[in-house]
Amino acid sequence: AQSVSQHNHHVILSEAASLELGCNYSYGGTVNLFWYVQYPGQHLQLLLKYFSGDPLVKGIKGFEAEFIKSKFSFNLRKPSVQWSDTAEYFCAVNLNQAGTALIFGKGTTLSVSS
Amino acid sequence: DAGVIQSPRHEVTEMGQEVTLRCKPISGHNSLFWYRQTMMRGLELLIYFNNNVPIDDSGMPEDRFSAKMPNASFSTLKIQPSEPRDSAVYFCASRNRFNTEAFFGQGTRLTVV
């Protein structure tokens, strides 16, 4: 069955620390990959996405992610987090075919202390 | 475009009552998703539609849950009868035919007492 795994349930960092959140997927086929962010009390918003090309993609607010096909991974990184990055982060995957389901991981809660 | 619009934003109902959640997708989008978010289970896909047709409803937890999409601009998720364990935030999302990112509504926070 298709699945998305996020390894970290809750990450606690101090401001200026570096961040890496893990995401692995289990899919048979070419995939599109996404990271979404959900700030407290808000809806999900897109951080970045990968469809093809350069496996290192840059998103908003200084986030980036690297697609490693051999590892079925799409880890999210940020060199220096800010207090305002406190949120829940979701990795999501769908097959690179029209009209397929968008499946999410369980999410990682990031708490950044100032 | 105003984005994906969900109503109501909050719903409190008594156990056994019927609950109907509504979603208006972004104009021109042809895929619509219903998700349920809880602390225990995270973000679960309940059902999704392509061109108003339900494609996969395997995530619908029980027969008490049903969803419809009578036209391209409207969808409902109904729970009848509702139970306290249905309490969650329900999100609707839509996506265009090019399979790019899905856009989410603000969600409906459902509390069943």
Return mean pLDDT, chain B.
Answer: 94
CA distance B98 to chain A (A): 7
Q: Do A102 and B41 touch (CB under 8 A)?
A: no
Q: pLDDT at position B113, please?
A: 97
Residue B1 has pLDDT above 70, yes or no: no
Q: Do B97 and A105 touch (CB under 8 A)?
A: no
Residues in chain B: 113
The residues that bridge with B91 in the sheet, in sequence order, are B35
| Averaged pLDDT, B81-87 | 97
Nearest to B42 among A32, A96, A106 (CB): A106
Q: pLDDT at position A79, please?
A: 97
Phi-psi region of A107 (alpha: psi -120 to 50; beta: other; left: phi over 0): left
Residues in chain A: 114
List, run by run, the mean pLDDT of 10-residue segments along chain A (114 residues): 88 97 90 94 93 94 95 96 97 84 93 94
| Averaged pLDDT, B56-82 | 95
Collect all residues with Cβ–Cβ distance below 8 Å to A113 and sequence separation of at least 6.
Answer: A12, A13, A14, A15, A83
Q: Do A90 and B91 touch (CB under 8 A)?
A: no
